[in-house]
Amino acid sequence: MLLTAETVLTGRELLRPGWIGVSGTTVTDVGAGPPPRRADRDLGAATVVPGFVDTHVHGGGGSEFSAADSAATRAAVDLHHRHGTTTVVASLVSAAPAELLQQVVVLAGQVHDGTIAGIHLEGPWLAAGRCGAHDPALLRDPDDELDRVLAAGDGTIRMVTLAPERAGALTAIERIVAAGAVAAVGHTDASYEQTRAAIEAGATVGTHLFNAMRPIHHREPGPVIALLEDSRVTVELITDGVHVDGALYRHVVRSAGPDRVTLITDAMAAAGMADGAYRIGRLEVTVAGGIATLTGTSTIAGSTATMDRVFRFAVEHSGLPRDRALQEAVAATSVNPARALGLPVPELEAGARADLVVLDTNLGVSGVMLAGAWL
């Protein structure tokens, strides 16, 4: 199959016009200018980008991954697939020990069968004072439970978020990394020095920077500055128009550099759904005007965003010429998240899995290809 489009962003370069050859599940070749033969499908004025990689997402389509049910997982994955996310890492909120273990066992099977690309444990080893939409009664220090959970994951746990100020956290980070997973700093009231110690222990991701995190103070820079200034760390941002301002997005990209920023949805069950009552783990959530909050509070409880929305926000708020903005958005939604978690990078190049998103002139999704098949 040969595809042509006005603009193709491969993850490395911008081609205008561009063409992509696909055979079976794989990209065979990519080029600029006139195609080598007549196109099987001319996408016209579209922009083609690599499939989105969402490494922090709790659910969507009315379902959440914490349900640990094949139908619920499939519903959430299908919703995000339709919005261009071809690689989904399922995030779990804090849960009781037995429940967490059961969730990991079920989701590990869903990684092995290809439904999801991995598991992200967001808790339960978090700071109670920065719990966000996690039940504070379920938060605890990491101990031997961590080893049992990692073993149950059987290599499918890609990332674990924890607060480095909790007792045993630095040793836990070393164990997470030794198990082949990524340790992330988040939901934390850690000082600058405690965050530096976590990075030295092996933490390489900052979980949704600024959100559920001690803020910057001019005499105590805290975790944000420690994470931003270390070149070994990739920082997540939820660019849904709710969690961070556009000016802050621009500042982070210029401070950390475009290769160290990952855009995520942090989506919960209400993504792709109408306003109403939902749950995240054990907690009740109310969605009004597309904004999810813990019922009866102003605490944000994840998002209702999909990756096409965070991609569009990044382009529109970059402050850059459009072509450069598109290239930075591709890096932040596809290349960087995959590299940060050691997943296959979905660049459009020969030999890569044929995962791509077709965007119209308003950056809305008009087509999605997953492993060479149109969805």
pLDDT in tens, 305-331: 999 999 999 999 999 999 999 999 999
Percent of the chain scoring above 90 in pLDDT? 100
217 and 134 inside one domain: yes
Could you tell me if residue 302 is inside a domain?
yes
Could you tell me if residue 253 is inside a domain?
yes
256 and 169 inside one domain: yes
Could you tell me if residue 300 is inside a domain?
yes
33 and 171 inside one domain: no
At residue 147, the pLDDT reads 97
What are the DSSP E strand ranges found in 128-251?
A: 157-162, 182-185, 205-206, 234-237
338 and 362 inside one domain: no
At residue 203, the pLDDT reads 98
Asked if 365 contacts 308 with a C-beta cutoff of 8 angstroms, the reply is: yes
Domain of 290: which CATH number? 3.20.20.140
Domain that holds residue 131: 52-345
| Rounded Cα distance, 266 and 278, in Å | 15
* 70 pLDDT tier (thresholds 50, 70, 90): very high
Strand order in the sheet with 52-57: 52-57, 85-92, 118-122, 157-162, 182-185, 205-206, 234-237, 261-263
Could you tell me if residue 351 is inside a domain?
no
Please identify which of the residues 266, 275, 355, 360 carries the catalytic annotation: 266
- Taking the model in full, what pTM does it have? 0.97
Antiparallel, parallel or unpaired: β 291-294 and 41-42: unpaired
- Enter the tokens of residue 103: 């969730």
Antiparallel, parallel or unpaired: β 205-206 and 234-237: parallel
| Rounded Cα distance, 62 and 271, in Å | 7
* Binding positions for Zn(2+): 122, 187, 208
Could you tell me if residue 353 is inside a domain?
no
At residue 332, the pLDDT reads 98
- Enter the tokens of residue 135: 């039940």
Question: Average pLDDT over the chain, rounded to whole?
Answer: 97
- CA angle (40, 43, 47) in 5-degree steps: 135
At residue 177, the pLDDT reads 98
Asked if 200 contacts 170 with a C-beta cutoff of 8 angstroms, the reply is: no
Residue 33, number of CB atoms within 10 A of its CB: 10
Could you tell me if residue 177 is inside a domain?
yes
Output helix, strand, coil percentages for the chain, rounded to the nearest 5: 30, 30, 40
83 and 17 inside one domain: no
22 and 95 inside one domain: no
Asked if 77 contacts 123 with a C-beta cutoff of 8 angstroms, the reply is: no
- In this prediction, residues 91-107 reach a mean pLDDT of 98
- Enter the tokens of residue 265: 């949805």
175 and 227 inside one domain: yes
- CA angle (156, 369, 357) in 5-degree steps: 95
Block residue for tokens 């059987």: 154
pLDDT digits (tens, 9 = 90+) for 116-146: 999 999 999 999 999 999 999 999 999 999 9
| 250 alpha carbon, distance to own chain's centre | 18
71 and 143 inside one domain: yes
40 and 126 inside one domain: no
| 306 alpha carbon, distance to own chain's centre | 10
67 and 43 inside one domain: no
pLDDT digits (tens, 9 = 90+) for 142-162: 999 999 999 999 999 999 999
Q: Which of 48, 34, 122 is nearest to 346 (CA)?
A: 48
- In this prediction, residues 188-213 reach a mean pLDDT of 98
Residue 218: DSSP 8-state: T
232 and 257 inside one domain: yes
Q: Clarify whether 266 is annotated catalytic.
A: yes
20 and 144 inside one domain: no
* Binding positions: 122, 133, 187, 208, 211-212, 219, 243, 300-302
Could you tell me if residue 352 is inside a domain?
no
What is the number of structural domains in the chain? Answer: 2
* Binding positions for substrate: 133, 211-212, 219, 243, 300-302
Could you tell me if residue 350 is inside a domain?
no
At residue 88, the pLDDT reads 98
